[in-house]
Structure 1
Amino acid sequence: MIEPLGAMLGGVAGAIAGSFLATLILRWPQGRGVMRGRSACDGCGRTLGAGDLVPLLSAMAQRGRCRTCGARIDPLHGRVEAACAVIGALAVGLAPDVAGLGWALLGWWLLTLAVLDWRHFWLPDALTLPLTFLGLTVGSWVTDAVLADRAIGAAAGYAGLLAVAWTYRWARGREGLGLGDAKLLGALGAWFGWQALPFVLLLAAGTGLLAVGVAAALGKRVERATRVPLGTALAVAAVPGWWLSALLSG
């Protein structure tokens, strides 16, 4: 059962976290600072006040546009804020303790990586490496995996996809798999233990194939060399893969 107060607090915290993460997702790939100065409209440069920065509500009240210049507010803001609010509400509502905080943190982190990889094919070390560290330290908050299994998972996840990347480059003479994907799988191993990795990979592969199939059905050109954001698929498959492995082993 979901605990209402925990769900409400988690949802509010998620919306606030999502506001920051959406800004990070939009600005970081452009080389723009996230922590420098106060928030401002990208259209007219007006410094945003407190009333402009209320997650979800401000954009809806302003109908998705700056109230000064009318410039369109990137809808990614609202989507990430809403997704983080849902993640926080579910995590803390279902586990109103330190475990819920751990699940919320993991969910927000994976959402950020998923969107960055989807939009830019980029999984920055500044996110994947701390995620590995958190898995080895606070990962015990969210799963029953012992530290040894999580350490093996971190090493096996990274080494497994690194071997695939090297093999592909040797066989085809070009890059086929980014090292960010290997680091992300290693991070997931650090959270869930090595036992979950086969299930995460299986579901991620299915997710990637489904995305390609949908793209083809929508009339988009799909070729053998079409790039697929594996990191996005891994992030989406992470929790279901862990749940499936726990279900079958239990």
Structure 2
Amino acid sequence: MIEPLAALSGGIAGAIAGSFLATLILRWPQGRGVMRGRSACDGCGRTLGAGDLVPLLSAMVHWGKCRTCGARIDPLHGRVEAGCAMIGALAVGFAPDVAGVGWALLGWILLTLAVLDWRHFWLPDALTLPLAFLGFTLGLWVTDAALTDRAIGAAVGYLALLAVSQGYRLARGREGLGLGDAKLLGALGAWFGWQALPFILLLAAGMGLLTVAGSMVLGKMVERTTQVPLGTFLAVAAVPGWWLSALLLG
């Protein structure tokens, strides 16, 4: 059963985390500092006050626009805030303890990585490496995978996609798979153990194929060099893949 007060707390924490993460997603790829200076409107440059920075509510009150110049606020802010709020509410609501905090952090980081890879084909080390570290530490309260299985999962996950990446480079003479994907799969191995990796990869590959097929159905040009954000699909498939492995392997 979900604990209402814990879920509310997790949702509020998630909305606050989402506000920061949305800003990070928008600024980081542009080389803009996230921690430097106060938040300002991208349209008129007005420094935003406390009333402009309430997650979800501020944008709703002002209809998604700056109240000074009327410039449109990127809807990514609201979407990431809402997504993180849902993750926090479910994680802490169902597990109002250290495990809930672990699930929430895992979900928030995976959401951020999924969006970054979808938009920019970029999985920064500054997120994937801490995610792996958390898998070996906080992850011990989240899943019951043995430490040995986590170590094997981290190594196998990374080395498997590293081998694919290097093999493709040797065969085709160009990069076909980024090392960020390998590091992300290794991090997921640290959270869930090696047993979950085949299921995560299978689901991620399936989503990738469906995305390409959907693009073709919609008439979009798909070429042999078309990029597919594997990291996005790995992030989305992580928890369902782990759940399937636990269900089928016991």
TM-score, length basis structure 2: 0.99
Counterpart of 1:196 in structure 2 is 196
Runs of 4+ with deviation above 2 angstroms: none
CA deviation profile, 1:172-192 (whole Å, cap 9, x unmatched): 111100000000000000100
Counterpart of 2:53 in structure 1 is 53
Q: Which runs of 5+ in 2 are unaligned?
A: none
Residue 157 of structure 1 and its aligned partner are, at CA, apart by 0.3
Q: Report whether the alignment pairs 1:187 with 2:183.
A: no
Counterpart of 2:39 in structure 1 is 39
Q: Report whether the alignment pairs 1:78 with 2:49.
A: no
CA deviation profile, 1:25-64 (whole Å, cap 9, x unmatched): 0000000000011111111111100000000000010001
Residue 97 of structure 1 and its aligned partner are, at CA, apart by 1.1
SS in 2 for 1:99: helix
Q: Letter of the 2:160 partner, please give it.
A: G
SS in 2 for 1:48: coil
Structure 1 vs Structure 2 CA RMSD: 0.7
TM-score, length basis structure 1: 0.99
Counterpart of 2:23 in structure 1 is 23
Equivalent-residue separation in structure 2 for 1:219 and 1:77 (angstroms): 30
CA deviation profile, 1:54-85 (whole Å, cap 9, x unmatched): 00000010001000011110000000000001
Equivalent-residue separation in structure 2 for 1:188 and 1:220 (angstroms): 32
User: Counterparts of 1:81-230 in structure 2 under 5 Å?
Assistant: 81-230=81-230
SS in 1 for 2:63: coil
Residue 2 of structure 1 and its aligned partner are, at CA, apart by 1.5
Q: How many residues align?
A: 250
Equivalent-residue separation in structure 1 for 2:213 and 2:3 (angstroms): 39
Residue 246 of structure 1 and its aligned partner are, at CA, apart by 0.6
Percent sequence identity over aligned pairs: 84
CA deviation profile, 1:94-124 (whole Å, cap 9, x unmatched): 1111111100000000000000000000001
Q: Letter of the 2:61 partner, please give it.
A: A
SS in 2 for 1:209: helix
SS in 1 for 2:247: helix
Residue 230 of structure 1 and its aligned partner are, at CA, apart by 0.3
Moved more, 130-139 or 229-238: 130-139
